Amino acid sequence: MYTFLTSSTPFPSVDQANDEGIIAVGGDLSPSRLITAYKSGIFPWFSEDEPIIWWSPDPRFILIPEKLHISKSMHKVAKSGKYSTTRDHDFKSVINACRTTTRAKQQGTWITKHMQDAYIALHEQGYAHSIETWHNDKLVGGLYGIAVGSCFCGESMFAIESNASKVALISLVDHLTQQGFQLIDSQVHNDHMESLGAELIPRSRFMHLLNECLESDVKW
């Protein structure tokens, strides 16, 4: 059974999540609540017609930056000069595109307007970050997430041109490696990230890695 949160209720231990990975329902999306969640191995994921649902699944889907797998053909695309990338240049457009871009085999979006506003507030406080992919000065792909210690908690990515999100991910991993980040939290399994080197690990192992990351004093 999961916990029902009020504005002052703390998160329970992740070990109390149910079999689906739900640990709590309710509360709010204030910056302090969100950062506490990420530092505790918890993230929000819910639809427009649902209350706020907080998750800590077991197993957890993660990517170790140095294990990123990029094919030779993708390396050529990234080095071709067709695309350019920036960091934190247009966070609002990236999260809006993640919210509105149609994806195959997916109905609607889990990024509600309420959630979009909450992550823009986190960006303004220096916690949420974006990578933008550009082609001929047009935003064609990107991703965003939260940095806590040396862990980057990936939230969403989009592409309106082939490979544009992969170019953003390559740029992200290059930057994280240079800065000393140790972990990318991809949260739940998806085939796209698995093809790029992400893997499922026990939640207990994830929490150990996350706690190590929180001891690191790295800068975005």
Cis omega (within 30 of 0) on the bond before 59?
yes
66 and 26 inside one domain? no
Tallying the residues shown for the chain, one arrives at 220
Question: What pLDDT is attached to residue 208?
Answer: 98
Average pLDDT, 10 consecutive residues per value, the chain (220 residues) = 87 96 96 97 93 97 96 89 96 97 63 95 98 97 98 97 95 98 96 95 98 96
Residue 165: exposure state from Cβ atoms within 10 A (0-12, 13-18, ≥19): buried
Where residue 136 sits, what CATH number does that domain have? 3.40.630.70
Question: What pLDDT is attached to residue 105?
Answer: 55
Question: What pLDDT is attached to residue 24?
Answer: 97
Tell me how many domains the chain contains.
2
Torsion sign over Cα 193, 196, 202, 208: negative
Question: What pLDDT is attached to residue 2?
Answer: 79
Where residue 18 sits, what CATH number does that domain have? 3.30.70.3550
43 and 67 inside one domain? no
Instruction: List, in sequence order, every residue forming a beta bridge with 46; answer none if it has no partner.
Output: none
In whole angstroms, what is the distance from residue 89 CA to residue 114 CA?
22
48 and 80 inside one domain? no
Asked, for residue 220, whether it belongs to a domain, the answer is no
Question: What pLDDT is attached to residue 109?
Answer: 64
Three-state DSSP state, 27? coil
Question: What pLDDT is attached to residue 107?
Answer: 47
User: Which domain does 123 fall in, by range?
Assistant: 61-214
108 and 207 inside one domain? yes
Question: What pLDDT is attached to residue 103?
Answer: 66
Question: What pLDDT is attached to residue 41?
Answer: 98
Question: What pLDDT is attached to residue 85?
Answer: 98
121 and 26 inside one domain? no
